[in-house]
Amino acid sequence: MSAYACPVLDSLYTLQAQLINMGVIPTLVKLLGIHSHNSALTEMCLIAFGNLAELESSKEQFASTNIAEELVRLFQKQTEHEKKEMVFEVLAPLAENDVIKLQLVEAGLVECLLEVVGQTVDGEREEDIAQLKTASDLMVLLLLGDESMQKLFEGGKGSVFQRVLSWIPSHNHQLQLAGALAIANFARNDGNCIHMVDTGIVQKLLELLDRHVEEGNVTVQHAALSALRNLAIPVVNKSKMLSAGVADVVLKFLQSEMPPVQFKLLGTLRMLIDTQAEAAEQLGTNGKLVERLVEWCEAKDHAGVMGESNRLLSALIRHSKSKEVVRTVIQKGGVKHLVTMATSEHMIMQNEALVALGLIAALDLVAAEKDFVGASLVPVLHKLLSDERSAPEIKYNSMILICAVMGSEPLHKEVQSLAFIDVVSKLRAHENKTVSHQASLTEQRLTAQS
């Protein structure tokens, strides 16, 4: 595509912006309200709205009018597919704005959408399939706003929430997808998540996933895993979801070659094992899982999958604190990836890696020694301690790790050759008391073993 701007497009956007500044939107909305029986004028208004709604600057003006009520009223009157589509084309860009989302919900759009779904779900005509998709997609979009979502949830008793739940066991892939995405959107705060897990939604999602192991609809897999990941965030839900067999179903997708599915699968497992030692040990000693994680740690084309694999690898060790898990990770070649993770640009990932490496050194230094040397662990720690930009937690955990590897002769030699004492002694004056205290202890250890 040419780097030069298109003069026609530029002038069109300028014209749209000028019209917005002149206050054309409230005028057109009024016109629509007064002449809604005039189909030619209505169509012209809709075309104008469709063009103006594309501009972000128009959304505030639209929000200050009663556009939501007018469009919903207009939508209810339409019987022809084409006319409904015209209204949909204006609703979709407007519904991206959170204020308008809530206005549309309050104006009764959701009830209209549910009616469309009911009328088209069993239809085989192209226009039925198109309307079903548009209506269910718009429904999911309305749930992206916090206020509109909470209004429709109604403490889990809302009729809209109940209807959306009924979409998940449907035989229609589009409805399954919309249902799972809706659950993922409802699952955006602890209260909702806890209520949904207590009322048996997990089982519905697992049954849906089971149907898609063989059928393999990637978008449905991705949506259902997204919902499970969100539901697993509150601590009280983790053990309940593990007991329901979530980990076992999720592991069925381990062979997926689709990065979006891989990413959500990893995130779901990581959320599930957080603070759950038994589950972390069970998964961490699963050779097939750890092997796949190590493979995905090298997925350089998919940064998200690579990052989540590293984080899950670290989490399995950190939450299980198990020698068996450490052995599995060493055997499958995971140590070098954790050392690389310690150099990540994200502090949270650096820290997770250092804590996992510290546990490896404490639980089985002999087995890890060769990998630590091969992955240049000691030079990496030297760099982290020397770098003024390293956060206090990073410095602290790096010193803990230095002390932990001193029991290995080759690693001890590396520590001596890199003059760690100079770096550590400077940290005794660090403003963070935990760091300065650890620096004193580390210096004593280094001095005693020099």
In this model, does residue 8 exceed pLDDT 50?
no
| 155 Cβ contact partners less than 8 Å away, ≥ 6 residues apart | 195
CB 171 within 8 A of CB 220: no
438 versus 214: the higher-pLDDT residue is 438
CB 394 within 8 A of CB 438: no
User: What's 260's DSSP letter?
Assistant: H
pLDDT of residue 26: 83
In this model, does residue 28 exceed pLDDT 90?
no
**Minimal CA–CA distance to 271: which of 307, 303, 226?**
226
Question: 450 pLDDT band (50/70/90 cuts)?
Answer: low
Interval 232-260: pLDDT, tens: 999 999 999 999 999 999 999 999 999 99
Question: 22 pLDDT band (50/70/90 cuts)?
Answer: low
pLDDT of residue 21: 64
In this model, does residue 5 exceed pLDDT 60?
no
3-state secondary structure of 255: coil
- Average pLDDT across the chain, whole number: 91
Phi, psi (rounded to 5 degrees) for 432: -85, 120
Backbone Cα Rg of the chain: 28
* Sign of the alpha-carbon dihedral angle for 201, 204, 206, 209: negative
Task: Give the amino acid at 35.
Answer: H
pLDDT of residue 270: 97
In this model, does residue 9 exceed pLDDT 50?
no
In this model, does residue 12 exceed pLDDT 60?
no
Burial zone of 192 (CB within 10 Å; 0-12 exposed, 13-18 middle, 19+ buried): buried
The whole-model pTM stands at 0.88
In this model, does residue 7 exceed pLDDT 80?
no
- Lowest-confidence segment of 51-60, 118-127, 327-336 by average pLDDT: 51-60
Show contacts of 193-197: CB within 8 Å, 24+ apart.
Answer: 193/230, 193/231, 193/233, 193/234, 193/237, 194/234, 194/236, 194/237, 195/155, 195/156, 196/156, 196/231, 197/231, 197/234, 197/237, 197/240, 197/241
pLDDT of residue 185: 95
**Minimal CA–CA distance to 116: which of 135, 91, 97, 133?**
135
- Helix (H) or strand (E) run with residue 202 in it: helix 201-215
What is the Cα–Cα distance from 368 to 361, expressed in whole angstroms?
A: 7
Interval 304-327: pLDDT, tens: 999 999 999 999 999 999 999 999
Question: 39 pLDDT band (50/70/90 cuts)?
Answer: confident
Question: 19 pLDDT band (50/70/90 cuts)?
Answer: low
**Minimal CA–CA distance to 65: which of 106, 30, 102?**
30
Q: Mark out the alpha helices in 297-408 (DSSP H runs).
A: 303-320, 323-331, 335-341, 347-374, 377-386, 392-405
What is the Cα–Cα distance from 279 to 232, expressed in whole angstroms?
A: 13
CB 401 within 8 A of CB 368: no
Phi, psi (rounded to 5 degrees) for 207: -65, -40
Task: Give the amino acid at 307.
Answer: G
Interval 167-194: pLDDT, tens: 999 999 999 999 999 999 999 999 999 9
DSSP string, 149-169: HHHHHGGGT-HHHHHHHTTTT
* Sign of the alpha-carbon dihedral angle for 51, 54, 55, 59: positive
Question: 386 pLDDT band (50/70/90 cuts)?
Answer: very high
Task: Give the amino acid at 382.
Answer: H
In this model, does residue 2 exceed pLDDT 50?
no
What is the Cα–Cα distance from 399 to 385, expressed in whole angstroms?
A: 8
For 450, what's the count of Cα atoms within 13 Å in the CB-facing half-sphere?
A: 13
CA distances from 13 to 6, 20, 56, 58, 266 (A): 11, 11, 11, 12, 42
